[in-house]
Structure 1
Amino acid sequence: MTAPTSAAPARSVGWRTPLVIVLCGSGIALLAFGPRSALGFFLTPMSQANGWGRDVFGLALAIQNLLWGLGQPFAGALADRFGTVRVMTIGTLLYAGGLWLMAYSTTPGALDLTAGVMMGFGLAGASFNLVIASFGKLLPIEWRSVSFGAGTAAGSFGQFLFSPLAVGLNQAFGWQTTLAIFAVTMLTIIPLSLAMAAPKAAPTAPGPTAAAVDAAPQQSLRQAIAEALGHRSYVLLVLGFFTCGFQLAFITVHMPAYLIDRGLSASVGGWTLAVIGLFNIAGSLASGWLGNRYPKRFLLVGNYFSRAAATAVFILLPASPAATLIYGAVMGLLWLSTVPPTSGLVLLMFGTRWFATLSGFAFFSHQVGGFLGVWIGGIAFERTGSYDLVWWLSVLFGLLSALINLPIVEKPVARLAAARA
């Protein structure tokens, strides 16, 4: 049995060299992640302008997260069948339209439709998951793991960049104009998505390419889903990814309030989230680099265990700015560094044909975890006056995910193994 060559579906398709593909995809990830991560800065002005409680805004964003996750497998399936550019164009228009109309939402229902439904489905069609799927299909094998890290890091940089941008634009022009500026900026994703188009013809390089190997034998969408759901290692991977979403969403939404409850200033919470964003860039890039050199399941086991250990130490220590910022740096290194090995394992197991679809199911698990992290955090605090229950749930889920990922088998399914022989 011989391993597949390092040739890729398209080492260079005209102007779309691997570097161009990575840069354009990273630009898409940066833009898509930016505005949605800065929406918290619109909570207060929108609530005051419309006389809403904070629960109104929170529900809209909860709907957004759920529909983003729910829409991802469908967006992936459409991209796999009809092409990434078409799906990204529609997703971008929904995303930009949701941002624009959000500025004129004066009822809770309108906000649920714009910030919730439109932006949720828009993100499913225009976010970094489809970018990573395109990287897996278009780039040479030796570029894949590093590119997964680069795309994830770019999304994190967008999170870091758009937060101060939202604050500055809100102060200079008002929140409605800021949302309009963000909406217009998102349209830049459409020309960038042209680099994500799959080649119309197979490459002419001698020897079997990764695309040719991954495509044989051909599968329908239903067969691909049935194969994945019946594959023990894939199910374990998807279950483990739930924890990532639970931890990230809970910390993002509830950390500032938690720190104030412990006697720290609001600025400490802001700086902590900024530190998480900065260190996540390094963590994502390192994860992509390490994924080419070490078993990916071990990277996931180490990540989830380290999160659990760091969180346990943090909540047991006395509250202080130094301890909080150190925790932010550690969690930043681990923040989205689960994405490159998770995506890499899906690609290794099942190949490129339905990669966007199958990685979309994994992301749906992530978003369900995110929704529950935010929702349970709020319920626990209202009923107990403390976040302690959810912090310890986060520790428990981290340990369970470390154990869940340990028995994952890193090899192609029998169908692909036979094709590569």
Structure 2
Amino acid sequence: MPTTPRPTRHAGKTVLAVLTASAFLLTLAGSALKNTLQVYFLPITGDFGGSRSDLAWAVTLFSVATAVFSPLVGSVADRIGGARTLAVGSLLAGVALLGCALSGPLWLFIVIYSLVAALALTMLSYVPLGVFVDELFQDGRKGLVYALITNGGAVGFILLVPLWTWLGQWLTWRTVLGGVGVVFLVVLTPLALVVTRQSGRVTASAGQGAGTAETVAAPSFGSQLRMCLRSGELRLLGLAFVGCGFTMAFIDVHFVPFMSDHHMGDAVSSSAIALLGAFEIAGSLLAGWLCDRGHVKAVLVGAYVTRAVAMVLLVLTPSPAMALLFGTVFGLSYLASVIATSMWIARVLPVSVRGTAMGLVWMVHALGVALSSQFGAVMQDRTHSYVPIILSCAVLTAVSALTVLPAGSARPAAPVRKEDDDPSRPDLADTPAP
């Protein structure tokens, strides 16, 4: 387990800014693993000659694999650091995109996407990014910095989705995916290695300068899991996070086909998604700012309520104007729930298990994505309507808000000690949910 550094005292602001910007860029690029399939969902379906529910299995299994990988990646990040985890993810992303582009039968596409791409995205997204921010920032700015870095996905909505839509007029989906895969291997993986080296120097310098940093051996994976599962607050957060995943799958898989079913073309779809991305940025920065000031619970409950309202709006009157309004309202909540959940975890769990804890909540998030992906596709095939999945999203996010509402405010975690790895300690007994 690396030492807990305080580089904000010892490293120049420029270095930290460059590292933050680089992590943001990796996150932006990593969003291509999802939004390319989102944009090319119908062309890929037509190319392989299957139905929507056939291709939806790629997303469903992708989500299941993400669920399995998330706590494992979190544990890895706790051990090797967030930056190294991002570097491995960049390499795997290039391999996955090239593999999908070159795949012949549909089953091979599904295997590559649901295993390699799922592992790559897990290593490029919220879990290792949380560890990355935890390593580099110890001065109360974690929420805002985490919001800035994770907004790479939002900028992906704004920049990449219109780009894929435009390129789809001239190039096949295979050419686009293959080209992005090459960029990952040739450009982004070397960048991730530079980030790893520089962040390592920053944390090492901080540890030496502090002089009092204590090196703590990482608990075993089993001990990490036990420590996490004994936290009642973490269980509540995970249960509520199912609603977050369920609704995100609607955006990732069903939103563009829903727009197409209601005769809203690429221009409306791209505009709605761009608005979603723009307000995702605004909402996440506000959420990070509020979380840094102690309003974690209010942000989380508000995010779930806002998302439930957005789903109700969409089902009322499917029209271009309503789609744009939906993108605005939903966007405000899109990352707010993620940031508030992550900041809550950072406050109530020891540093040696925070990556694992984030991995666990993302595991249940991914299961929500898998359920929504397949349920929405099957219901559309049978009823020719996305109303059932939209109403289900509204209900689940309302339940998520009610789940978090009785919980107490996030309390700071006690400093981790070596004996935290001992599951027989009485103070590691089951922590009741507040």
TM superposition score category, shorter chain reference: 0.7 to 0.9
The Cα shift of 1:97 comes to 0.9
How far apart in 1 are the matches of 2:387 and 2:49?
31
Match of 2:144 among 143, 146, 152: 146
Give, in angstroms, the shift of residue 114 of structure 1.
1.9
Query: Which of the residues 180, 183, 193 maps onto 1:182?
Result: 180
For 1:72, the equivalent position in structure 2 comes to: 70
Aligned AA for 1:363? W
Amino acid at match of 2:381: E
Query: SS in structure 1 opposite 2:412?
Result: coil
Stretch deviating more after TM superposition (224-233 or 263-272): 263-272
**How far off is 1:391 after superposition?**
2.3
**Cα distance 1:189–1:364, how it changes in 2: closer, same or farther (>3 A)?**
farther
Residue 191 of structure 1 and its aligned partner are, at CA, apart by 3.4
In the alignment, which residue of structure 2 is the partner of 1:3? none
Residues 387-398 of structure 1: pairs in structure 2 closer than 5 A: 387-398=386-397
Q: Tell me the equivalent position of 1:309.
A: 309
Deviations 1:150-192 (A, max 9, x none): 0121221023222222233344443333222100222333333
For structure 1, the residue ranges without an aligned partner over 5 or more in a row are: 1-5
Please tell me whether residue 99 in structure 1 is matched to residue 97 in structure 2.
Answer: yes
User: What is the DSSP-based 3-state SS (H/G/I as helix, E as strand, rest coil) of the residue aligned with 1:269?
Assistant: helix
Q: How far apart in 1 are the matches of 2:279 and 2:99?
A: 33
Q: Which residue of 1 aligns with 2:368?
A: 369
Q: Secondary structure at the match of 1:106?
A: coil
CA contact (8 A) 1:57 1:111 kept: no
The whole-number CA distance in structure 2 between the counterparts of 1:49 and 1:383 is 22
Q: Once the two structures are superposed, what CA deviation does each residue of 1:120-164 show, in whole Å capped at 9, x if it has no partner?
A: 112122334312221112113322111111012122102322222
Query: Among residues 87, 90, 96, which one is paired with 1:89 in the alignment?
Result: 87
User: What corresponds to 1:191 in structure 2?
Assistant: 190
Q: Distance in 1 between matches of 2:108 and 2:262?
A: 36
Matches of 2:320 and 2:40, distance apart in 1 = 26
Normalised to the residue count of structure 2, the TM-score between the two structures is 0.84
2:216 is the counterpart of 1:233: no
Distance 2:166 2:380 in 1: 32
**Contact 1:73-1:360 at 8 Å conserved across structures:** yes
Q: How far apart, CA to CA, are the structure 1 residues paired with 2:171 and 2:385?
A: 38
Equivalent residue in structure 2 for 1:164, among 162, 165, 168: 162
Cα distance change on mapping 1:140 and 1:362 into 2, 3 Å: same
Aligned to 2:422: none
Cross-structure match for 2:251: 251
The question of whether the paired residues in 2 share the 8 Å contact of 1:32 and 1:128 is answered with: no
Match of 2:430 in 1: none
CA distance in 2 between counterparts of 1:223 and 1:253 reads 36
Distance in 2 between the 1:128 and 1:118 partners? 17
Q: Does 1:203 align with 2:207?
A: yes
Deviates more, 1:112-121 or 1:267-276: 267-276
Distance 1:320 1:125 in 2: 37
Contact 2:59 2:373 in 1 (8 A): no
**Larger mean Cα displacement after TM superposition, 100-109 or 38-47:** 38-47
- Alpha-carbon separation, structure 1, partners of 2:207 and 2:315: 54
Task: Provide the C-alpha distance between the structure 1 equivalents of 2:45 and 2:310, rounded to a whole number of angstroms.
Answer: 35
Cross-structure match for 2:423? none
Q: Is the 8 A contact 1:69 1:366 kept in 2?
A: yes
> Contact between 2:272 and 2:323, CA under 8 Å: does it hold in 1?
yes
Change (3 A) 1:248 1:39: same
Q: 1:104 and 1:87, CA in 2 relative to 1: closer, same or farther beyond 3 A? A: same
| Structure 1 position 257, deviation (Å) | 3.6
**Aligned Cα RMSD in Å?**
2.9
Does structure 2 conserve the Cα–Cα contact (< 8 Å) formed by 1:148 and 1:339? no
Change in CA separation of 1:7 and 1:40 when aligned onto 2, cut-off 3 Å: closer
CA apart distance, 1:30:
0.8
- 1:388 Cα deviation after fit: 2.8
Query: Aligned pair in 2 of structure 1 residues 393, 331: CA closer, same or farther (>3 Å)?
Result: same
Match of 2:119 among 121, 125, 137: 121
More displaced 10-residue stretch of structure 1: 292-301 or 75-84 = 75-84
Conserved in 2, the CA contact under 8 Å of 1:11 and 1:17?
Answer: no
Amino acid at match of 2:135: K
Measured against aligned partners, the alpha-carbon deviations of 1:312-361 in whole angstroms (never above 9, x if no partner) come to: 24423x33322221121011111112121111111111133222221111
Compared CA separation, residues 9 and 45, structure 1 to 2 (3 A): same
Contact 2:26–2:90 (Cα < 8 Å) also in 1: no
Q: State the one-letter code of the partner of 2:288.
A: G
Contact 2:278 2:331 in 1 (8 A): yes
Verify: 1:274 aligned to 2:278, yes or no.
no
Distance 2:43 2:273 in 1: 21
| Contact 2:78–2:355, Cα closer than 8 Å, also in 1 | yes
Tell me how far 1:249 sits from its aligned partner: 1.0
Shift of 1:227: 1.8
Report how far residue 85 of structure 1 moved: 4.3
Contact 2:342 2:358 in 1 (8 A): yes
Corresponding residue for 2:359? 360
Q: Contact (CA 8 Å) 2:33, 2:93: kept in 1 or not?
A: no
**Counterpart in 1 of 2:328?**
329
3-state SS, counterpart of residue 104 of structure 2: coil
Q: For each residue in 1:396-420, what CA deviation from the matched residue of structure 2 results, as whole angstroms up to 9, or x when unmatched?
A: 2112111211214411345659x9x
AA matched with 2:140: E
Structure 2 residue runs without a partner (length 5+): 420-434
CA positional deviation for 1:206:
5.6
Give the direction of change, closer, same or farther, for the CA distance of 1:226–1:35 in structure 2 (3 Å limit).
closer
Task: Give the letter aligned to residue 291 of structure 1.
Answer: C
Q: Secondary structure at the match of 2:341?
A: helix
Contact 2:241 2:364 in 1 (8 A): yes
